Amino acid sequence: MLEPGIEEKTFVLNLGPQHPSTHGVLRILLEMDGEYIAKADPVIGYGHRGHEHMAENRNYLQFLPNMGRVDYLHALAYNQCWCMAVEKLLGITVPERAEFIRVITNELNRITSHLLWFGAYLMDLGAFTPFLYCFDDREHILDLLDRVTGSRLTYCYYRFGGVPSDIDREFIDGCFAFIDRFRSRWKDYDNLVTKNVIFINRTKGVGIITPEMALKYGITGPNLRGSGIPYDIRKSEPYSAYPLFNFEIPIGENGDIFDRYVVRLAEMEQSLRIVEQALVKLPNGPIMAEKVPKRIKPPAGEVYQAVETARGEFGIYIVSQGEVKPYRVKLRVPSFATLSFFPEMAKDNLVADAVANLGSIDVVIPEIDR
């Protein structure tokens, strides 16, 4: 604070990533009072592709690949949500084996998303080494998912009524091998990061999200659970085969960056548990429902379907007027709500903490822009 009598002056600072070749372009206008932020104003929309508009001009199947490009880090959850919403409109029941395969691949995808966050976030904070460890581990999952889905990032593996191709022995063995390998890494991650004094000092007590604020802004996912609220769609609004597996919802206490970090790390272990159980219990049977119409033309009506992605609640709202194309599709993306809280989070804090805060809420910009 300035002494009385001296004129107070603020200046404006642009906070990136702003380069067009980065995977998500976000600009934050910071009005600075010295090292402190007086006002933060996120500018979004650089990656707006108009997915909701595209949905109105494509038939239901044609829109399916768009889903992998909204949040490309957890594409399978988005894929699943669209399939489930359309299945709900059509009244299709998915065979059990297909649900198991969806859960297995979806949870592996969740781990890749958390691993990427983990590595990229620590790089934001100036630690380069963990990034290499994470990408090493992540690579193993990408190989596994590549084998069944045919792609490494923008997956489009689920179909209305099931999945198009079955998993094989090599995939199953590969998953078990990965689970063993990944579990042996926890010790390294803890020693490298969780117990790291610099990391602890930068994250404890910083960037607090209170449960009241989460409620008013509609913040979901690990950002909410870090504040001690065990809200996870997989448990609270069970879908697919999730009710058949034992897993916990890790929560934090203080809602600070450190708690969000701990929650995401613990969630990866829970995902491993789910994958493990699903592989052991994997039932035999068909992977595709029998009576899926070739021409998808749902009856008139509306539907809301939610799933838990790596970043929180993703919801699809479809209005059908009985045509081959949806009349209106709204994509409720978790990062949109989370980023809208950022100005409040950053206000009156150090600019150095703004970087730590922004990384800690794990936003994927193309998902916000849609």
Partner 1 sequence: MLTDTIQKALAPLNLAKVAPGDYAKTGYHLEVAAAPAQLPALAQAMLNTGCFLESLTAVDVSPEAFTLVYHFANFKELCRTVVHASLPKGTEPPTLSQIYPGADWYEREVYDLFGIRFAGHPNLTRILLPEDADFHPLLKEFGAGDAGTGD
| 216 lies in the binding site for partner 1 (CB under 8 A) | yes
Residue (101 or 306) nearer to partner 1, CB:
306
Query: Which of the residues 263 through 302 are near partner 1 (CB under 8 A)?
Result: 295, 301-302
- The partner residues of 329 in beta bridges, in order of sequence, read 318
Q: Which long-range contacts (CB under 8 A, 24 or more apart) does 50-55 make?
A: 50/370, 51/331, 51/370, 52/328, 52/329, 52/330, 52/331, 52/370, 55/326, 55/329
Longest Cα pair distance anywhere in the chain, in angstroms?
79
Edge-to-edge strand ranges of the sheet holding 301-309? 301-309, 312-320, 328-332
| 27 lies in the binding site for partner 1 (CB under 8 A) | no
| 336 lies in the binding site for partner 1 (CB under 8 A) | yes
Q: Which long-range contacts (CB under 8 A, 24 or more apart) does 131-139 make?
A: 133/185, 133/188, 133/189, 133/192, 137/181, 137/182, 137/185, 138/111, 138/112
Rounded Cα distance between 207 and 42, Å, is 16
| 18 lies in the binding site for partner 1 (CB under 8 A) | no
| 109 lies in the binding site for partner 1 (CB under 8 A) | no
DSSP structure string for 54-66: HHHTS-HHHHGGG
Sketch the per residue contact string, 79 through 108, with partner 1: x for CB under 8 A, - otherwise. ---------x--------------------
Choose which of 65, 123, 315, 351 interacts with partner 1 (CB under 8 A): 315
Q: Closest approach of Cβ 366 to partner 1, in Å? A: 12
CB 118 within 8 A of CB 125: no
Q: Is 159 helix (H, G, I), strand (E, B) or coil?
A: strand
Choose which of 111, 341, 359, 364 interacts with partner 1 (CB under 8 A): 341
Q: At what angle do helices 129-149 and 169-183 cross, to 10 degrees?
A: 160
| 52 lies in the binding site for partner 1 (CB under 8 A) | yes
| 11 lies in the binding site for partner 1 (CB under 8 A) | no
Which region, judged by CB under 8 A, interacts with partner 1, from 12-20, 158-166, 209-217, 356-364?
Answer: 209-217
Q: Closest approach of Cβ 18 to partner 1, in Å? A: 16
Structure tokens at 194: 């969780």
- The partner residues of 51 in beta bridges, in order of sequence, read none
* Among the listed residues 358, 350, 353, the one whose alpha carbon sits nearest the alpha carbon of residue 35: 350
Q: Closest approach of Cβ 341 to partner 1, in Å? A: 7
Binding residue count for partner 1, defined by CB under 8 A: 49
Q: Closest approach of Cβ 313 to partner 1, in Å? A: 7
Choose which of 2, 22, 29, 53 interacts with partner 1 (CB under 8 A): 53
φ and ψ at residue 301, rounded to 5 degrees: 155, 180
Which region, judged by CB under 8 A, interacts with partner 1, from 138-146, 243-251, 310-318, 350-358?
Answer: 310-318
Residue (185 or 347) nearer to partner 1, CB:
347
| 54 lies in the binding site for partner 1 (CB under 8 A) | yes
Which region, judged by CB under 8 A, interacts with partner 1, from 97-105, 245-253, 278-286, 321-329?
Answer: 321-329
Query: What DSSP designation does 3 have?
Result: P
Q: Closest approach of Cβ 111 to partner 1, in Å? A: 25
Rounded Cα distance between 110 and 105, Å, is 9
Residues of this chain that interact with partner 1 (CB under 8 A) are 44-45, 48, 50, 52-54, 56-59, 61-62, 88, 214-219, 224, 229, 231, 236-237, 295, 301-306, 313, 315, 317, 319, 324-325, 327-328, 330, 332, 336-337, 340-341, 344, 369-370
